[in-house]
Chain A
Amino acid sequence: MSDVLDSLVGGFWLNLEVFVMTLLLALPLGLVITFGSMTKFRPLRYLTRVFVWIIRGTPLMLQLFAVMYMPGLVFGIPMKSRMTAVLIAFVINYAAYFSEIYRGGIESIPKGQYEAGQVLGMTRSQVFFRVVLLQVVKRITPPMSNEVITLVKDTALARVVSVAEIIMCAERYTKQGLIWPLFSTGLFFLLFNGLLTLLFGYFEKKMSYFRS
């Protein structure tokens, strides 16, 4: 029993690692992609949008396989660490999703907000940071919270390249005829997502003092 628990906790630790690292890297990378997809320089804009379309249009599972095995098959340089492969695939995938949410948020701010700031003598960066940013953050919080919760559940996909995340750990017991560890993994996800839901709820409430 405690043996099983240790193994599950150890597995979930990997899920959390994928989750945290993906968030830390994909949140800023998403912003870079957003700039690319909104730039006035057309070739870069089209290139970025095609890239985002491919990433969002194919299964994350396939992307995991691609990052894991393509370097070895195509360039003869096998991927050394499975965890690195997982992180690369997750970060790219989630950055693409985040970038679309950011872009939607930025584009949803009425032109009049920028113009009102400009007319009052604000610089471009003052308009962005003092006027637009908080409104964007407020608008993207609900879709971001959905995406982040999906990320928690997606971390289970790491197992397709044999990273021993929690469900993979639990399955070892299923093979020994012990079924409850597999289903109890759900509790880990539920608990963690419950925590995140509370956090996002608090965040949304913090910003409910204004409407935009």
Chain B
Amino acid sequence: MAVLTVEGIQKSFGGVDVLRDISFSLEKGEALAIIGSSGSGKTTLLRCLNFLETPDKGVIRVGDQVIFDAEDPRSRSEQEIRQQRLHFGLVFQSFNLFPQYTVLENVTLAGRLLAKEKPDFKSRKAAVFREIEENGKALLDSVGLAAKLNAYPHQLSGGQQQRVAIARALALHPDILCFDEPTSALDPELTGEVLNVIRGLAQRNTTMVIVTHEMQFARQVADNVMFMDGGVIVEYGPPEEVIGNPKQERTRQFLERYAQQ
């Protein structure tokens, strides 16, 4: 069964349609790469999944549970949204680490705050916090930053910061991890280390939606590729089809323009 089902998502900003009737689904353990030129609506789609934008129309399901329905105002309450967005993790293009916290604190902060809401928190406080910390350390170890636990974000390179951001997103065990051009803000020599971390996640069957301009990487890592243009899905399928042998003229043009750069 699909872990994520998106049905008929529409979003417009000031009368301009940015997403028109986006539908797709994602299997558990699947990695989906979204490609498309700038302005095609990729970021907006990820932001809709993470409740940073509210779609004007459409339904989003995780498993068999409806987590968003534009027709149902109940799915807009702040408390509800806060619960539902935990199904998703989001790694931003610009990292957005919290500068005043150490690397480890960045990864554990949200988990500690959420733990406080659990009914048995008071009695198990020490154990719960220790568990969160162990989990954070293990995650940072897995992205190759075990030596930087107590560093502050400004002391890290961009690639290291983005790896912390990935660990931070993983710490809450999201069902679906979203990446919005995770290497676009990095110097070319630093993209490799971040892409390698994502590759590792794909090998461990992490369910992911990755917006990227790295075609080689998308080909290697993605189970499916979605090409977006003008707010619609123009082509969708396995990478060898969409990138290797595109059927649509618009996809071909995009890939050609891309290859020339």
A-side interface residues toward B, CB under 8 Å? 110, 112-113, 115-124, 126, 130-131, 134-135, 138, 209-212
CA A105 to CA B86, docked complex, whole Å: 30
Report chain B residues within 8 Å CB of A118: 51-52, 85
Question: Which of B1-9, B31-39, B93-101, B235-243 touches A?
Answer: B93-101
Total contacting residues, chain B, CB less than 8 A: 29
Partner of B110, one of A120, A135, A210: A120
**Is residue B89 within 8 Å, beta carbon to beta carbon, of the partner chain?**
yes
Partner of B113, one of A122, A134, A209, A210: A122
Report chain B residues within 8 Å CB of A209: 152
Contact B90 A113, beta carbon cutoff 8 Å: no
Report chain B residues within 8 Å CB of A119: 50, 52, 85, 88-90, 169
**Is residue B233 within 8 Å, beta carbon to beta carbon, of the partner chain?**
no
Report chain B residues within 8 Å CB of A130: 109, 113
Name 9 interchain pairs, CB-CB below 8 A, sorted by A. Answer: A110-B94, A113-B96, A116-B97, A118-B52, A119-B52, A121-B114, A130-B109, A130-B113, A210-B99
- Prevailing SS type, chain B contact patch: mixed
Shortest Cβ distance from A209 into B: residue:
B152
8 shortest A-B CB distances, which residue pairs? Answer: A120-B110, A116-B96, A112-B96, A211-B154, A212-B99, A210-B100, A210-B99, A119-B90
Report chain B residues within 8 Å CB of A212: 99-100
In the assembled complex, the CB of B173 is this many whole angstroms from the nearest CB of chain A, namely 12
Shortest Cβ distance from B93 into A: residue:
A112
Contacts A112-B94, A116-B96, A124-B78 aside, 18 further interface pairs with beta carbons under 8 A come to: A110-B94, A112-B92, A115-B52, A115-B96, A118-B85, A119-B50, A119-B88, A119-B89, A120-B109, A121-B113, A130-B113, A135-B99, A138-B100, A210-B100, A210-B152, A211-B99, A212-B99, A212-B100
